Amino acid sequence: EAQVTQNPRYLITVTGKKLTVTCSQNMNHEYMSWYRQDPGLGLRQIYYSMNVEVTDKGDVPEGYKVSRKEKRNFPLILESPSPNQTSLYFCASSFWGYYGYTFGSGTRLTVV
Amino acid sequence: AQTVTQSQPEMSVQEAETVTLSCTYDTSESNYYLFWYKQPPSRQMILVIRQEAYKQQNATENRFSVNFQKAAKSFSLKISDSQLGDTAMYFCAYNAGNNRKLIWGLGTSLAVNP
């Protein structure tokens, strides 16, 4: 089944404790992206990647890191999480951005 | 700057009836793509329908269709024969022809009542 697998689905952590949210797609998509969704603010792009070793900042990259060492994987790293990073996070991929993205199931992150 | 506006924060419809969700956008691009996504309570983001700006014909996917008015920069979603499973947040999104991200509206919460 073609899908984007995102883990974990739920995560509660403490301020400053490094964490990684994994994202993997099995569709050989070139484009991958991370979004965060917050009430009243909609979805905002954090980082995106056009291919292996090619990443770029989105609208809200501060406090996040990404890497794209393999085409299928695009992990999101929070090196020192803070409470303002409490949010619902989505990973998405696309063969080409014009065709719309396939989304993972989301990660509900709470930083206390 | 490119923006997407959904003017209806909440809507409701009776089961089996038709409902139209509004979306307007602002862009100076001539070639772009528009999307409607559905987010049910499970929070999964599901692509409902897409429209290419250079195609005049409105896109249709089963009970879902769009009314794309390029000059007016309007992209509304019509849901026919509404079903309880259509209850969800609906997001309109824009992707420029040379851009790498989706620009999102804030969503319309649709409730389908039995």
A26, A29, A65, B56 from A20: Cα distances, Å: 20, 21, 9, 44
Burial of residue B64 (number of CB atoms within 10 Å: 0-12, 13-18, 19+) = middle
Is a pLDDT exceeding 70 seen at residue B99? Answer: no
Tokens 């009542």 label which residue?
B113
Of A21-30, A54-63, B12-21, B52-61, the one with minimum mean pLDDT is B52-61
Question: If chain A, 112 residues long, is cut into consecutive pieces of 10 residues, what is the mean pLDDT of each piece?
Answer: 94 97 95 94 92 91 97 97 97 81 95 97
- B64 touching A (Cβ < 8 Å): no
Average pLDDT over residues B7-28: 96
Residue B37, helix vs strand vs coil: strand
| Cβ burial A13-44 (10 Å sphere, 16+ → b, else e) | beeeeebebebbbeeebbbbbbbbbeeeebbb
Contact A6, A91 (CB under 8 A): yes
B-proximal residues of A, 21-60, CB under 8 Å: 31, 33, 40-45, 48, 50, 56, 58-59
Bond prior to A61 in cis (omega within 30° of 0): no
- Tell me the nearest-neighbour CA distance from A8 into chain B, angstroms: 14
Q: Mutate which of A43, A55, A103 to test chain B, going by most B C-beta atoms within 10 A?
A: A43
A8, A35, B31, B64, B82 from A91: Cα distances, Å: 12, 6, 26, 25, 29
Chain A partners of B105 at a C-beta cutoff of 8 Å?
Answer: 42
Contact B99, B33 (CB under 8 A): no
